[in-house]
Chains A and B, each alone.
Chain A
Amino acid sequence: MPGATLSRWTMSYFAAACLFLVIGECMLAAGYGYPFETVAAFGTLALVHVLAIGWLGLLMLGALLQFVPVLVAVPLRGERLAGPTLLLVIAGLLLLLGGFAALAGATTLSPNLLPIGAVALVTGFALAAGMFATTLFAARPLPHPARFVAAGLLALMATVLIGACFAALLSGAIESDLLTALVVRGVPLHAALGLGGWLSFTAIGVSYRLLPMFMLAPDDVRPTTKIAWWAGIAALGLVAASVGLAVIGPSAMAGLLVLAMLLTLGLTVLYGVDAVRLYRQRRRRAVELNIRASYAAFVALIASVAMFALPAMRAAAGEGAAALVYLFFFGWLSGLGLAQLYKIVPFLTWLECYGPVLGRVPVPRVQDLVSERRASLWFCLYHAAVSAATFSLFMGSHPSFRIAALAQLAATIALIAEFLRARNLSAVAAASRVPIGVPRPHLFLPPFRPQE
């Protein structure tokens, strides 16, 4: 039967993701990793993977478990794999962190944890990609937003497999000149495929469906959307081709990557044009906080990509253009993620708790589960802190970076507290909080009773 049911494991993914975000931001505020160490230091690598896999990776998988069926109006295939996938990704990440610690000098740990962790991560992400790919396959021809997700899944697998090659080489498990060439030149490609191909491309696709849904705007496919898609696919293809060149012919890489960057800039501008058009054509006059916060993330996306395209800005942004990567990671991807969590968590909680009694007894509205005034303060603080941290990285000022990172951590914890309040139905009057006969939702564990 068509339709979308509540994904059992999504809240567990979100909870784990938020936990890793807090851990990562604590590491930043505590002076762990770049800019206190080099970009290539094992501390920085550990920090980056806590945030990229633990926070954004799990967040995106949890969101896709719920929204791939909504994108294509087909039930999720292989949903029973969602629980094992979560465990595999968390276990793989922890093993990976153990491996980095061993390389950094922790004598009680073995560098062999790196390839073991990589195997767990490859397996976990492959299971997830398999669930989503078979669901998408059943829904061909794919609607436009779903194509972005399909391309994002390919980029995910490319990212994870390249990462596994790194793990094999760094741990000393395998010695190979080809792999050494890949590690020497392939790190930026691994990052571009992960943050750009997997996370951004997928986020863009999902937002092409969610923005019109939340704003009551027409979700027809415009020429801008089509060109954005082709620009993105071409950029992804060029980055993927560069991975091969990194091994066999590195001299040709630079030209391809400049072209990929220009295509990415084009994609970003067209996506921005689409976002503005959707906002203007919306039938819903009052715009909710999750949408306003999403537009702040779009500004961060366009700013970071536009500055990245300028060689002078890239050079001024520190080692590996770190300031711009920071803005892209926290302003765009994390900003969008937190904004959407602010909508998705109350909505799924509302549906889980009140769906069974809708129409039979009066129920609160979804909006009654949150306090927009308080949360809008936290979003403002969050984006102000991200901007200040980015600026500090440009200036090379470590003390001000730590203060900004601390403010960002505080805003993040405050937002997570808002998600918990929504999940606990704290804003709903106690008398009407949980209808008779409906079990209270678990905070983040899946409902263990079988779904009807």
Chain B
Amino acid sequence: MNPASAHSPAPRELDVRPILKSGGEPFQAIMEAVSGLKPGQPLRLLAPFRPEPLFKVMAGRGFAHAAREIDGGDWEVLFTPEGAGSPVAFSADAEDPEVWPDPSVHLDLTELDPPEPMVRILSAAEGMQAGEVLFALLSREPLFLYPELAKRGHQWAGNFDETRTTFRIFIRVGKVKA
């Protein structure tokens, strides 16, 4: 595990210029990209103008922004999560979570009674290939889940969102299954 690199994962890049060029509305694509960010991961957005209205939306979701004009009058904005107070927790063997593949399974378990989220996550992980990543939203930090993940050889990284109401966890399915 490399906490230094894991605490500052490489930004995810989203270029909305092609969407706008073809007359599309990029807002949904941006929000999907934001939802898919790993804990602590920034978003680098490329747009043909300074996306002023987006700054407020992103601030509401706990992101600071830094905008600069690039070649051709286009703009690059780096949205960085202001994740103070919600440090990322890792399994002992989680190596470089920022290079994990994008999640192939998404689960929203925020409305389930404990310990049902744990059952769903472990069931879903059983059906996945080694190396695949599962992303889940929970209403609590799944403290009792961590030892079960470790026993099965799965790696994980997770933290609370900026409002501390939802816990986000990425689980990379392990190669060795007990």
Contact = CB atoms under 8 A, between A and B. Distances in A.
Nearest to A74: B143
Contacts of B139: 216, 283
A4 interface: yes
Interface stretch (A159-167, A318-326, A350-358): A350-358
B140 A213 contact: yes
A1 B111 contact: no
B146 A2 contact: yes
A363 interface: yes
Interface stretch (B30-38, B53-61, B96-104, B122-130): B122-130
B123 A218 contact: no
Contacts of A350: 115
A372 to B, nearest CB: 14
A325 to B, nearest CB: 35
B44 to A, nearest CB: 30
B140 A69 contact: no
B51 interface: no
A177 interface: no
Most buried by A among B92, B139, B164: B139
A452 B151 contact: yes
Interface in A425-443: none
Most buried by A among B91, B121, B148, B150: B148
A440 B11 CA distance: 48
Contacts of B71: none
A283 B143 contact: no
Contact of A359 (B114, B125, B141, B164): B125
Given A4-B144, A73-B141, A359-B122, A216 B111 contact: yes
Contacts of B122: 358-360
Nearest to B85: A141
Contacts of B118: 358
Given A283-B111, A284-B113, A2 B143 contact: yes
Interface in A307-366: 347, 350-351, 355-356, 358-360, 363, 365-366
Interface in B49-104: 89, 91-92
Contacts of B92: 1
Nearest to B91: A1
A356 B164 contact: no
Contact of B150 (A1, A69, A284, A365): A1
B135 to A, nearest CB: 17
Most buried by B among A1, A69, A452: A1
Interface bracket on B: 20 to 34
Interface string B129-162: 0000000000111011111101100000000000
A294 to B, nearest CB: 16
Given A1-B92, A3-B144, A366 B115 contact: yes
A422 to B, nearest CB: 15
Given A284-B113, A351-B115, A359 B143 contact: no
A214 B139 CA distance: 11
A358 B146 contact: no
Interface string A280-297: 000110000000000000
B111 A359 contact: no
A451 to B, nearest CB: 8
Given A216-B139, A358-B122, A3 B146 contact: yes
B8 interface: no
Nearest to B158: A2
Interface string A193-221: 00000000000000000000110101010
A398 B178 CA distance: 62
Interface of B: 89, 91-92, 111, 113-116, 118-119, 121-126, 139-141, 143-148, 150-151, 164-165, 178
Interface of A: 1-5, 69-70, 73, 213-214, 216, 218, 220, 283-284, 347, 350-351, 355-356, 358-360, 363, 365-366, 452
Given A3-B146, A359-B126, A452-B151, 6 more contacts: A3-B147, A73-B89, A216-B111, A351-B144, A358-B118, A359-B123
23 contacts: A1-B150, A3-B145, A3-B146, A3-B147, A3-B150, A4-B144, A4-B147, A213-B140, A214-B114, A218-B165, A355-B144, A356-B148, A356-B151, A358-B119, A358-B122, A359-B119, A359-B121, A359-B123, A359-B124, A363-B119, A365-B116, A366-B115, A452-B147
Per CB-CB distance, the 5 closest pairs between chain A and chain B, nearest first, are A3-B146, A359-B122, A359-B123, A4-B143, A358-B122
